A and B are shown apart, each in its own frame.
Chain A
């Protein structure tokens, strides 16, 4: 296990993309401390800001207020990153494998364009969770993201595959232009969920105001949801009673695209 404890709060954004198990593996603490990290426009080393303990293994623990540290574990393919504190933007963006756990909040674009692996955020997530960068054809394209708290706008935008589950509320445009995949919000979704949805499922346990391009189709008990809930439970997420076996109102849309997507709203009756 490698432990990085923040000893000096960066004054400018610190580029933390060197912090991945792939990069740390097999390196002694001194070598890890010697990895580069741009501090604003100034070349710096991880060791300038972090106390590094332990040897490079597949498990990294980060401790401290890391809101100014960007792109932690971005692109990682293996291993585990545990964050005791808040993480900055782009946490796990483009990640391909392994696991990230945040015991705190995560910034904007967490898990953006995720290609595999798991991210579990105990606190809140910012905007663009599992989403896409500007212009991208696809957002998240595999993997699993769980948020115990709330998430911001554009959760799962242009998502192609995978599962995102938010225990709290989600912001506006949840699942906007989503291509496929599953997105579950236990709390309240913001306005305009599923705008431009092509295929895939957006699930809400609370009532939601839908766009005029959605149509009520039927009330159903989808099997796949049960499987997803079981999977989420195994990952440690607590699932509200009844939602696994209860009925859902199915709205199909977005009819400005194919109309082959669905928003499932838990029928609380």
Chain B
């Protein structure tokens, strides 16, 4: 059986033109998908072998799992819900309510990827656009601290570089592509211009470009400090100011290096300054398939895009205080519910170790470092393959996920609903 126009929910591109072939209950082909997407579709179609619930490693029924998990959570004083970037908005909405009922913290992968972009938005605003604007108009495309060839393989071919657009009818030939990074990545092959800057000098480079856009002059020493020549900087600034429609894609090379939200603020301010000369937009290269969705759900339900705390019965926000790494490494969290994420493998040591010390509960389709240390582990259906739902692309455009395979497992949304209902009973609210 073939399903057309299926969404690949693996990365923030959420390409929705995949043709999925299902044979004998397995996905055998995912046409149009990139290498990451193909792996995602094919690996999730393996036959089920995990029990629906495990309590301290022992097989349990869904009901037993819910009961155990609900008790851990209801007893906790400072529970943390984390992950959520690879599940549906419907599951995310349940998670926020659960965090509210528990009076705990809820944080998502944004916190350790593009949280600094969110903080830059809060500081200075954000001139941005949807991906189709890039396709239809952009004649200057800049990737900064991002390696789309490996992290978002179809970003360039489907949205930003090769496609023919309304005002860029010649496609690739109509665009200048610039890559700025501290090392030459595979993405450099596609770029017309590759600028290698010194590690840790992103802020200075962006700040210098803003100065040029503001009509200031720079000296050679300033450029050398950044690792570029003055000519290179002037040339880039000149291209930025004289394009028809420019776009700056910012990656984790900016958000997760020293300076973090100031790096992104510098990028945002540069683009703001450029709008006096040319139409210019920027976009964070969001990683996971629905990390933009969880920001949106959190924002409409709590007012804040990540790192939200409900201890006082209402939402509070403060990155560095209620964010995952902080509440874990300070030893504040006394229980954790991890949805579709593997923080035990990805967080810094101290934070990851805390997960093993406290009752950790997981919802995941796969076995992971985190499910291995979990007190209660639920195996769930994957949104976009076994379950329907909504995801938001990196440009905040929502798309409906399809269900292409049946599943014996409940969806994240279903498990969270059961958990929520039981926690409400236990907490008598």
Are A and B direct contacts in the complex by CB distance below 8 Å?
Answer: yes
Residues in A with CB closer than 8 Å to B207 are: 195, 211-213, 256
B77 at the interface (CB under 8 A from A): yes
Given contacts A11-B77, A12-B334, A134-B119, contact A213 B203 (CB under 8 A): no
B348 at the interface (CB under 8 A from A): no
Residues in A with CB closer than 8 Å to B266 are: 195
Given contacts A108-B321, A213-B211, contact A11 B334 (CB under 8 A): yes
Q: Which of A38-46, A73-81, A219-227 contacts B (4 or more CB under 8 A)?
A: A38-46
Residues in A with CB closer than 8 Å to B203 are: 192, 195
**Are B262 and A192 in touch, CB under 8 angstroms?**
yes
Closest CB of chain B to A188's CB: distance in Å?
16
Residues in A with CB closer than 8 Å to B104 are: 41
Q: Which of B265-324 contact A (CB under 8 A)?
A: 265-266, 269, 273, 310-312, 317-321
Number of A-B contacts (CB under 8 A): 94
B253 at the interface (CB under 8 A from A): no
Closest CB of chain B to A180's CB: distance in Å?
18
Residues in B with CB closer than 8 Å to A40 are: 76-78, 103, 311, 332, 334
**Central interface residue in B78, B123, B317, by most chain A CB within 10 Å:** B123
**Are A135 and B312 in touch, CB under 8 angstroms?**
no
A250 at the interface (CB under 8 A from B): no
A265 at the interface (CB under 8 A from B): no
Q: Which of A107-142 contact B (CB under 8 A)?
A: 108-109, 127-128, 133-135
Closest CB of chain A to B190's CB: distance in Å?
30
**Are B77 and A134 in touch, CB under 8 angstroms?**
no
Closest CB of chain B to A220's CB: distance in Å?
23
Given contacts A11-B77, A108-B320, A255-B211, contact A211 B204 (CB under 8 A): yes
Q: Which of A49-91 contact B (CB under 8 A)?
A: 68, 89
B210 at the interface (CB under 8 A from A): yes
Q: Which A residue's beta carbon lies closest to that of B261?
A: A134
Q: Within the complex, which residue of B122, B265, B311, B319 is in contact with A13, where a contact is CB–CB below 8 Å?
A: B311
B225 at the interface (CB under 8 A from A): yes
Q: Which A residue's beta carbon lies closest to that of B327?
A: A13
Given contacts A192-B259, A255-B211, contact A133 B318 (CB under 8 A): yes
Q: Within the complex, which residue of A68, A176, A212 is in contact with B218, where a contact is CB–CB below 8 Å?
A: A212
Q: Which of B69-110 contact A (CB under 8 A)?
A: 76-79, 102-104
Residues in B with CB closer than 8 Å to A133 are: 318
Q: Which A residue's beta carbon lies closest to that of B122?
A: A135
A22 at the interface (CB under 8 A from B): no
A15 at the interface (CB under 8 A from B): yes
Closest CB of chain B to A234's CB: distance in Å?
34
In the bound complex, CA of A212 to CA of B222 (Å): 6
In the bound complex, CA of A63 to CA of B159 (Å): 60
Q: For chain A, what secondary structure do more than half of its interface residues adopt (helix, strand, loop), or is it mixed?
A: loop
Residues in A with CB closer than 8 Å to B222 are: 212
Closest CB of chain B to A38's CB: distance in Å?
6
For chain B, give the interface size range.
35 or more
A172 at the interface (CB under 8 A from B): yes
Given contacts A41-B77, A42-B77, contact A176 B214 (CB under 8 A): no
B49 at the interface (CB under 8 A from A): no
Given contacts A12-B334, A192-B262, A212-B208, contact A255 B214 (CB under 8 A): yes
Closest CB of chain A to B266's CB: distance in Å?
8
A173 at the interface (CB under 8 A from B): yes
Q: Which of B330-353 contact A (CB under 8 A)?
A: 332, 334
**Are B259 and A13 in touch, CB under 8 angstroms?**
no
In the bound complex, CA of A127 to CA of B320 (Å): 10
**Are B332 and A12 in touch, CB under 8 angstroms?**
yes
**Are A41 and B321 in touch, CB under 8 angstroms?**
no
B173 at the interface (CB under 8 A from A): no
B216 at the interface (CB under 8 A from A): yes
Q: Within the complex, which residue of B103, B204, B219 is in contact with A41, where a contact is CB–CB below 8 Å?
A: B103
Q: Which B residue's beta carbon lies closest to that of A128?
A: B320
**Are B77 and A39 in touch, CB under 8 angstroms?**
yes
Given contacts A255-B216, A256-B210, A256-B211, contact A212 B77 (CB under 8 A): no
Residues in A with CB closer than 8 Å to B311 are: 12-13, 15, 38, 40-41
In the bound complex, CA of A213 to CA of B319 (Å): 28
Given contacts A41-B311, A134-B123, A212-B225, contact A13 B208 (CB under 8 A): no
B183 at the interface (CB under 8 A from A): no
Residues in A with CB closer than 8 Å to B208 are: 212-213
Closest CB of chain A to B115's CB: distance in Å?
10
In the bound complex, CA of A38 to CA of B119 (Å): 27
**Are B102 and A41 in touch, CB under 8 angstroms?**
yes
Closest CB of chain A to B309's CB: distance in Å?
9
Q: Which of B28-75 contact A (CB under 8 A)?
A: none
Q: Which A residue's beta carbon lies closest to that of B221?
A: A212
Q: Which B residue's beta carbon lies closest to that of A177?
A: B123
Closest CB of chain A to B249's CB: distance in Å?
22
Q: Which A residue's beta carbon lies closest to that of B201?
A: A191
B258 at the interface (CB under 8 A from A): yes
Residues in A with CB closer than 8 Å to B269 are: 196, 256
Residues in A with CB closer than 8 Å to B262 are: 172-173, 176, 192, 195
Q: Which A residue's beta carbon lies closest to that of B203?
A: A192
The list of the 5 closest CB pairs from A to B, nearest first, reads A41-B103, A40-B77, A212-B222, A135-B122, A12-B78
User: Interface on A for B, CB 8 Å cutoff?
Assistant: 11-13, 15, 38-42, 68, 89, 108-109, 127-128, 133-135, 172-173, 176-177, 191-192, 195-196, 211-213, 255-256
12 contacts between A and B (CB under 8 A): A13-B311, A41-B310, A68-B332, A108-B321, A133-B318, A173-B259, A192-B204, A192-B259, A212-B207, A213-B211, A213-B216, A256-B207
* Given A191-B258, A212-B219: 18 more A-B contacts, CB < 8 Å: A11-B77, A12-B334, A41-B104, A41-B311, A128-B320, A133-B318, A134-B119, A135-B122, A172-B262, A173-B259, A176-B262, A177-B123, A191-B259, A192-B204, A192-B259, A195-B207, A195-B262, A256-B216
User: Interface on B for A, CB 8 Å cutoff?
Assistant: 76-79, 102-104, 119, 122-123, 203-204, 207-208, 210-211, 214, 216, 218-219, 222, 225, 258-259, 262, 265-266, 269, 273, 310-312, 317-321, 332, 334
